[in-house]
């Protein structure tokens, strides 16, 4: 809507602005058909959903074509529907696509943004019940390229020592988190901390994308409930 309003008002449309003005369609609807005019439209959601006391990752990034939709979910799942064959999106037809078709959808999604952005990462500030696993350091990440990995450092708030993957050390150690996918713009990540046996951590995390770009580092203090009986209440 923004480019359309700017053009109708006679204002200059900045190059960095996402979206395309449909003023030409308003002025001359017969000039083109919907199929040739409508390029893929980006659809995104960052909101998590909660149902019956549990959290569900509802974030996704996708493309809506004239008669098709392609979606990549933050947990790594992917979906494809052809509305001419399945208008109600009942059967995921992703595996019916050929490898070249899948690469084409991936290319379109990765090139959908008008501007280049630096990768960003977030850390969830408190453990949440997700697939019945609360003892994770976890978060999300986003980039305009595919995300390759999430790196993090974990420090014990009481001893000020760093976790090196097997024991506590005086020096910081870069750890690699588990990621939901390594070929997407939007992912979730986690690092299990059951064996650390500490109730409070300072976590530092950052993104590395497939071009080697790194995000700014973010920090978050996290408290864990190590009492199994308290967890059951």
pLDDT of 35-73, one tens digit each? 666 678 888 887 666 555 655 567 888 999 889 999 999
Residue 46 CA to residue 38 CA, distance in Å, equals 25
Q: Which CATH number fits domain 120-232: 2.60.40.10, 2.70.150.10, 2.60.120.10, 1.10.150.20?
A: 2.60.40.10
The pLDDT tens digits along the chain (233 residues) read: 888 999 999 999 887 776 778 888 888 877 776 666 667 888 888 766 655 565 556 788 899 988 999 999 988 999 999 999 999 999 999 999 999 999 999 988 888 765 666 778 888 776 554 444 557 888 888 887 788 899 999 999 999 999 999 999 999 999 999 999 888 888 889 998 877 878 888 999 999 988 888 889 999 998 876 554 444 33
What is the H or E stretch that residue 156 is in?
strand 147-156
Q: Tell me the β-bridge partners of 163.
A: 168
Instruction: Tell me what pLDDT residue 110 has.
Output: 83
Beta strands in 2-95 (DSSP E): 41-45, 49-51, 54-56, 60-64, 68-73, 78-82
CATH 2.60.40.10 in the chain: give the residue spans. 120-232
Model confidence, pTM: 0.74
CB 145 within 8 A of CB 118: no
Q: Which of 212, 142, 137 is nearest to 177 (CA)?
A: 137
CATH 3.30.1120 in the chain: give the residue spans. 37-112
Q: Which fold has domain 37-112?
A: Arylsulfatase, C-terminal domain (3.30.1120)
């Amino acid at each position: 809507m923004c480019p359309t309003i700017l053009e109708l008002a006679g204002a200059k449309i900045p190059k960095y602005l996402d979206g395309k003005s449909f003023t030409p369609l308003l002025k001359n609807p017969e000039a083109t058909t919907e199929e040739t005019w409508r390029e893929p439209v980006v659809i995104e959601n960052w909101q998590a959903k909660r149902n019956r006391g549990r959290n569900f990752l509802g974030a996704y990034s996708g493309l809506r074509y004239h008669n098709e939709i392609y979606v990549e979910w933050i947990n790594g799942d992917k979906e494809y529907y052809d509305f001419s064959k399945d208008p109600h999106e009942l059967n995921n037809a992703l595996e019916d696509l050929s490898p070249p078709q899948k690469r084409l959808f991936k290319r379109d999604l990765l090139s959908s943004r008008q501007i280049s952005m630096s990768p960003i990462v977030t850390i969830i500030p408190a453990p949440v019940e997700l697939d019945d696993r609360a003892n994770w350091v976890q978060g999300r990440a986003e980039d305009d390229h595919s995300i390759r990995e999430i790196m993090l450092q974990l420090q014990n708030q009481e001893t000020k020592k760093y976790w090196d993957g097997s024991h506590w050390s005086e020096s910081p150690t870069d750890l690699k988190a588990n990621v939901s996918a390594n070929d997407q713009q939007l992912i979730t990540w986690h690092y299990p901390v059951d064996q650390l046996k500490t109730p409070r951590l300072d976590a530092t995390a950052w993104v590395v994308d497939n071009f080697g770009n790194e995000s700014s580092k973010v920090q978050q203090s996290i408290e864990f409930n190590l009492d199994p009986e308290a967890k059951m209440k």
